[in-house]
Amino acid sequence: MLFFLSLSLLIYFAYRGVSVLVLAPLLAILAVVLSGNSSQTMGIYTEVFMQGLGGFAVKYFPLFILGAIFGKLMEDSGYAYSIARNIVDKLGDKHALLAVVLACSILTYGGVSAFVVTFAIYPIAAALFKQTNIPKRLIPGAICIGALTLTMTALPGSPAIHNVIPMPYFETDAFAAPGLGIIASIVMLGGGMLWMNRQTRIASANNEGYGNHTLNEKEPHSGIDIPNFWLALSPILIVIIGNYAFSKIIIPLWNNSYLADEKFGGVALSSVIGIWAIILSLFLACVFVIASSFKRIDSVAESLNKGATGSLLPIFNTASEVGYGSVIATLAGFAIIKQSLMEIAPGNPLISEAIMINVLAGITGSASGGLGIALEIMGASYMQLAEQYNIDPELMHRIASLASGGLDSLPHNGAIITMLTICGLTHRESYKDIFATAVVIPLIALTLVIILGTMFGSF
């Protein structure tokens, strides 16, 4: 059990800003030494840690790089700004909070990263909130609803990595358990809006307005040619519709029998179809953005380069965490923990799956990291339990995805820290609303889906 010291140090130093790329291998080795296996250190490093890291990177690298390039192209073409600006203008001052939430939701559901969305929406949200005298401190909570909840883990078809990671483990696609995903999305959106509207009313009753802020008070873009809304929305639709068409209609029509060949690992189509569909739809969306805004983007090559290089840190951060988890899984002490987790709510692995992923996401401060570690360690076991208890793998997928988006948004989460920095706000000012919208309400949605899934199965 001494490897808990290693885990505690990982949390502490990650919170202090030390790179996971450095921490993960060092603390994995420390865990090995503390467990009494110091003679196996190098073997575990090269054959367990690096294999875990490499396996994750190989499996998901195309999604990270295409997603990052797509986000950069949407930003540089002005398409992301056009979508956000038009939605805010259409809904107007009376629905300022909803406008920000919907703008973020549409962009992230279409495959644009939360980081790019925050950059695009913040200047617009700040101007709108100032105009309507809504406290600036509420902006992060509104962004969280749209960017870090329903489109990240719940909405069927989302290309978010949190909805992709479970696919090969449960042989599903991005549309797993669509009915339950939609119900969870309604809870997250409805609950989040109820909370934020209540906070706005309380602030108004206390005569609290936008506030006097000087940090990062950016003005929205002015005097520039904003792309047509429907043109800007087209690549988002390509991702959403293309994802469905490829996974449900087009790819199944191909001759995929060659996958049984040894050189392809004898992989089943069901294990890769979801990933293939998102790769193809993101690729087509990137091509469309380049073709339709070639003259608008200053340098397509620079956008491609920055998008590609920008994908490297996120994927290797997550892959390093998965490598760390692979090492922990080999230690004798973890076998006891694994058995204890499997015995939570015997007969209903949905509960133990949800708890394990939530805890690991909270520990690492990363939804994708916690999800990747948990499924690398326990994915095969949960698939066996699903077969044993006649649980639809789609339900296991949806629970896994939803569970990654709860405790991940604790204060040390990198996305939360970045969002607050962009908005020029602090944890003290805004974290209460982030906690409500990105932690509490998603956990309520997860609990509801577990109950419904247990009672009625996947739908």
Here the tokens at position 458 are 């996947």
Instruction: For residue 220, name the pLDDT band (cuts at 50, 70, 90).
Output: low
pLDDT given at position 117: 92
Q: What are phi and psi of 10, to 5 degrees?
A: -60, -45
pLDDT of residue 347: 84
Q: Which tokens hold the place of 138?
A: 């509420």
Annotate 164-221 with DSSP letters as a single string. HTTHHHHT--TTSSHHHHHHHHHHHHHHHHHHHHHHHHHHHHTT--S----TT-PPPP
Report pLDDT for 213: 74
Cβ partners under 8 Å of residue 436, min gap 6: 141, 192, 195
Whether the per-residue pLDDT at 360 is higher than 90: the answer is: no
Contact 250, 203 (CB under 8 A): no
Q: Locate tokens 């326990």: which residue? A: 378
Q: What is the mean pLDDT of residues 403-408?
A: 95
| Secondary structure class of 297 (helix, strand, coil) | coil
Please report the pLDDT score of residue 16 as a whole number. 75
Handedness of CA 380, 384, 385, 390 (dihedral sign): positive
CA distances from 294 to 82, 107, 300 (A): 16, 21, 7
Q: Which two tokens stand for residue 191?
A: 């609950």
**What pLDDT score was predicted for residue 194?**
98
- Tell me: pLDDT of 205 over 80: yes
Q: Give burial (CB, 10 Å; 0-12/13-18/19+) of 58.
A: exposed
- Token pair, residue 453, equals 């899934």
Roughly how many angstroms between the first and final C-alpha of the chain, as a whole number?
Answer: 40
pLDDT(218) > 70: no
The alpha-carbon radius of gyration of the chain (Å, integer) is 22
Q: Enter the pTM of the model.
A: 0.89
* 413's tokens: 């989460």
Can you tell me the distance from the alpha carbon of 365 to that of 405, in angstroms, rounded to the nearest whole number? 10
* Distance (Å) of CA 453 to CA 15, 41, 51, 175, 180: 35, 43, 34, 16, 8
125 close to 98: Cβ distance less than 8 angstroms: no
Residues 131-149 have a mean pLDDT of 96
pLDDT band at 418 (very low <50, low <70, confident <90, very high): confident
Q: pLDDT tens digits, residue range 69-97?
A: 999 999 999 999 999 989 988 997 889 99
Encode pLDDT of 16-64 as tens digits.
778 889 989 999 999 999 888 889 999 999 999 999 999 999 999 999 9
What pLDDT is attached to residue 226?
86
pLDDT in tens, 105-123: 999 999 998 888 998 899 8
Contact 56, 318 (CB under 8 A): yes
pLDDT of residue 104: 96
Judge residue 42's burial from the number of C-beta atoms within 10 Å of its C-beta, 0-12 exposed, 13-18 middle, 19 or more buried: exposed
Write the pLDDT tens digit of every residue in 229-262. Answer: 999 999 999 999 999 999 999 999 999 999 999 8
pLDDT, one tens digit per residue, over 446-456 is 999 999 999 99
Cα gap 121→124, rounded to integer Å: 5
Do 46 and 186 contact (CB within 8 A), yes or no?
A: no
Report the distance separating Cα 303 and Cα 68, nearest Å: 10
Per the CB < 8 A criterion, the answer to whether 172 and 452 are in contact is no
| pLDDT confidence tier of residue 313, bands split at 50, 70 and 90 | confident
The domains of the chain are located at 3-456
